[in-house]
Amino acid sequence: MATGKTKVLAVFDFDRTIIDYNSDDWVARLCPGGEPPDWLWEKYRQGLFMECVEELLEYLHDNGVSSEDILKYMTTVPYTDGMKDVLKFINNSKDVFDCIVMSGSNELFIEAALKADGIERTVISKVYTNVGYINEEGRMHVRSYHDKVCKCSADLCKGTLLPEYIRERAQKGVTYKKVVYVGDGANDLCPCKGLGSSDVVMPRKGYKLIDKIKEMESNPTEDNLKAKVIPWERGSEVLAVLEDDLQP
């Protein structure tokens, strides 16, 4: 049944946004010697991320690292400074905010990391990410959410998924007066292009998304971002932006 509610949608990338690491890099620490072999990094640099992670998981399995070891290790990944406070704030203000995650990681890594102390899993309404599963032999596998639907990513197009989610919520009577998009990577630019003048894009300082935005601003076209751009470094800066939406 439609609720007729108007809210703010907070959208987060996961790696180097909610957590302060790339989750694939974090798991790669479990390789013998703490580093994956060079041939795996070469494939990763080519942008074949899910293929690379699948082979990383096979390599870990062959070297005696179990799926349970991997998931336990993901629960220890550090959160970005202040980001737990951001999630707690949203959870305490769910009458105002909806919160979703859109990530090029995978569901097993994300769900394990969200078991961190002090985080209520229910704060996140939906997670869009690549598929992860454990087979009958106990071996972990991953596969892409999308099959190269967009040049922004070989695995998952956030620019397709964000408007899809907004449409789904509208069908249930929930509309959004503002979208606040918080991310760091080059593949976060695609969904940001579809945002409007009432929305906010928060690119993390020192990462690829802010570089991409600066490139666009130096070559103005009709494709430039319409949303307000507010760079961030720590969760406290994200929290300040969200707190503004509680003001009368």
Residue 99, strand partner residues: 10
**Structure token pair of residue 190:** 């695609």
Q: Which residue has the tokens 């007729």?
A: 4
Pick the catalytic residue: 13, 98, 155, 184? 13
205-235 as b/e: b if 16+ CB within 10 A:
eebbbbebbeebeeeeeeeebebebebbeeb
pLDDT at residue 153, as a whole number: 65
Task: Look at residues 106, 71, 83, 69 and name the one whose alpha carbon lies nearest to residue 16.
Answer: 83
> Interior CA angle at 174 toward 180 and 15, to 5°?
35
Judged on CB neighbours under 10 Å (0-12, 13-18, 19+), 84 is middle
pLDDT at residue 199, as a whole number: 97
Judged on CB neighbours under 10 Å (0-12, 13-18, 19+), 247 is exposed
Q: Are 41 and 34 in contact (CB under 8 A)?
A: no
**Residue 119, Ramachandran bin (φ over 0: left; ψ between -120 and 50: alpha; else beta):** beta
Interatomic CA distance for residues 131 and 105, integer angstroms: 9
pLDDT at residue 115, as a whole number: 86
Dihedral sign for Cα atoms in the order 210, 216, 219, 225: negative
Residues of the chain where predicted confidence (pLDDT) is lower than 50? 1-2
pLDDT at residue 241, as a whole number: 97
pTM metric for this prediction: 0.93
Which amino acid makes up residue 164?
A: E
Is residue 13 part of the annotated active site? The answer reads yes
Interatomic CA distance for residues 180 and 196, integer angstroms: 11
Is residue 244 part of the annotated active site? The answer reads no
